[in-house]
């Protein structure tokens, strides 16, 4: 019988310092032996967003402790590992370098393989840790840094169907929250306030709803929210704006996901189609309900990985390392950190004003 692989994962691409030990199980899924995440929300709160220098310093201060804790909690020691996987991009270079360098140091000193993992591949494969899912599947990644539809054909094999051309969805939630006086990251509070408001109170724009395929845009929506937020009369109106914003997001996601599903079905003929929704924003219950309903209408089975695997974590990095190692992909110790690193290198760069969609 083939040996079951055990990997250490390290994640420092943005504002979470994380380490995790994951072991393959005989049924092809994974067992998370430890999953340590140290969040920097407190450090960035007063600035209303992630400050790169502060994030990098916090990673340097915490990374050793976080890795030791992950190893201790797994009841293994470094010698038991079959490989080290560290996020190498995309993200803030000053942050990525902290985790990648320590990953290289551990791999180099123990003479174990190093896997330089794309953070987005970590998200894309994360649902496979605790559920057997056949390739290909459709993925919607909605986080503070990314918003993409991906056709996940296999390990190291992705087709981007759509992307945001400006803000990420979590960013749109956080910016709206900030305008309403809510602390960073405000997504969860917007969801809470939305429940108390009237979602039909304000009419908000849905940028590029009827064009651009399943690409998305949230910048115009943010501008509209900014204008309205200046003239709010009372707390009730804040709740109404939160509710109207969330309803508008749901309408955009419904329309765009519908297009993504149709595009997926044009080329893929599975007996059973799977739609995975990952990233921090996938915690939002109204978005879950909305996308579950659409999935049923289009005969997709929706999968929402548990929240601790949806938001940034190192278990998904360890797992991506295992999956890559199994198809003989290994990286050398010179592998650089990459600020930009698309999963589908053939897809055009779609960001900035004046884009023709």
Q: Under the rule (CB under 6 A), what is the footprint of ligand KG4? A: 14, 143-145, 170, 173-174, 185-188, 191, 279-281, 283-284, 311-312
Binding residue for Zn ion, selected from 166, 199, 312, 331, defined by CB under 5 A: 312
CB of 114 to ligand KG4, least distance (A): 23
Q: Please tell me whether residue 285 adopts helix, strand or coil conformation.
A: helix
Residue closer to Zn ion, measured from CB, 186 or 207:
186
Q: Identify which range of 153-161, 244-252, 266-274, 305-313 contacts Zn ion by CB under 5 A.
A: 305-313
In the list Zn ion, ligand KG4, none, the entry touching 144 (Cβ below 5 to 8 angstroms by class) is ligand KG4
Q: Which is nearer to ligand KG4, 84 or 309 (CB)?
A: 309
> Which partner, ligand KG4, Zn ion, none, binds residue 197 by CB below 5 to 8 Å per kind?
none
Q: Residue 143, interface with Zn ion (CB under 5 A)?
A: yes
Q: Which residues, 6+ apart, have CB-to-CB distance to 89 below 8 Å?
A: 13, 96, 118, 119, 337, 338, 339, 340, 341
Cβ-based nearer residue to ligand KG4, 44 or 104: 44
Q: How far is the CB of 56 from Zn ion (least distance, A)?
A: 17
Those residues whose C-beta lies under 8 Å from the C-beta of residue 345, and which sit 6 or more positions away, are none
CB atoms within 10 A of CB 121: 24
Q: How far is the CB of 16 from ligand KG4 (least distance, A)?
A: 7
CA distance 219 to 207: 8
CB of 279 to Zn ion, least distance (A): 6
CB closer to Zn ion, 115 vs 316: 316
Calculate the CA dihedral of residues 50, 51, 54, 58 and round it to 10 degrees. 20
Q: Determine the interface stretch with Zn ion among 138-146, 253-261, 331-339, 340-348 (rule: CB under 5 A).
A: 138-146
- The reply to whether 97 sits near Zn ion by the rule CB under 5 A is no
Question: What minimum distance in Å lies between the beta carbon of 276 and ligand KG4?
Answer: 14
Q: Does residue 337 bind Zn ion (CB under 5 A)?
A: no
148 lies in the site for Zn ion, by CB under 5 A = no
Separation of alpha carbons 61 and 40, rounded Å: 11
Phi/psi at 113 (5° precision): -65, 145
Residue closer to Zn ion, measured from CB, 14 or 224: 14
Torsion of CA 63, 66, 68, 73, to 10 degrees: -160
Compute φ and ψ for 196, nearest 5 degrees: -95, -5
Number of amino acids touching Zn ion (CB under 5 A):
2
Q: What are the phi and psi torsion angles at 33 (to 5°)?
A: -85, -25
CA dist., res. 278 & res. 125, Å (int): 10
Q: Pick what 87 binds: Zn ion, ligand KG4, none; C-beta below 5 to 8 Å, kind-dependent.
A: none
Give how far the C-alpha of residue 127 lies from the chain's centroid of Cα atoms, to the nearest Å: 12
Residue 168 neighbours by CB distance under 10 Å: 23
Residues that bind Zn ion (CB under 5 A): 143, 312
């Amino acid at each position: 019988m083939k040996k079951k692989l055990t990997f250490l994962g390290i994640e420092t691409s943005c504002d979470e310092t994380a380490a995790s030990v994951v072991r393959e199980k005989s049924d092809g899924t994974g067992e998370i032996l430890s999953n340590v995440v140290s969040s920097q929300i407190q450090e960035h709160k007063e600035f209303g967003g992630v400050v790169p220098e502060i994030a990098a310093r916090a990673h340097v201060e915490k990374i050793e402790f976080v890795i030791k804790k992950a190893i201790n909690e797994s009841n293994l020691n470094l010698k038991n590992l079959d490989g080290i996987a560290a996020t190498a991009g995309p993200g803030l270079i000053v942050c990525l370098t902290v985790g990648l360098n320590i990953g290289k140091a551990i791999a180099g000193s123990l003479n174990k393989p190093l896997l330089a993992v794309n953070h987005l591949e970590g998200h894309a494969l994360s649902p496979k840790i605790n559920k057997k899912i056949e390739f290909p599947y459709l993925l919607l990644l909605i986080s503070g840094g990314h918003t993409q539809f991906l056709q996940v054909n296999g390990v190291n094999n992705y087709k981007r169907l759509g992307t945001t051309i400006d803000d990420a969805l979590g960013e749109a939630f956080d910016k709206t929250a900030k305008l309403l006086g809510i602390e960073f990251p405000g997504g969860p509070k917007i969801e809470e306030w939305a429940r108390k408001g009237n979602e039909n109170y304000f009419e908000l724009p849905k940028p590029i709803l009827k064009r651009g395929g399943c690409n998305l845009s949230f910048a115009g929506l943010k501008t509209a929210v900014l204008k309205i937020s200046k003239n709010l009369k009372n707390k009730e109106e804040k709740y109404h704006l939160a509710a109207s914003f969330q309803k508008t997001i749901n309408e955009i996601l419904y329309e765009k996901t519908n297009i993504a599903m149709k595009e997926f079905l044009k080329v893929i003929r599975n007996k059973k189609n799977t739609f995975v929704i990952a990233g921090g924003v996938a915690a939002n219950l109204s978005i879950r309900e909305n996308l579950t309903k659409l999935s049923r209408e289009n005969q997709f089975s929706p999968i929402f990985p548990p929240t601790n695997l949806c938001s940034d974590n190192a278990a998904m990095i360890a797992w991506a390392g295992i999956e890559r190692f199994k198809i003989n992909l290994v990286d050398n110790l010179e592998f650089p950190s990459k600020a930009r690193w698309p999963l589908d290198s053939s897809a055009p760069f779609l960001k900035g004003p004046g884009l023709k969609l």
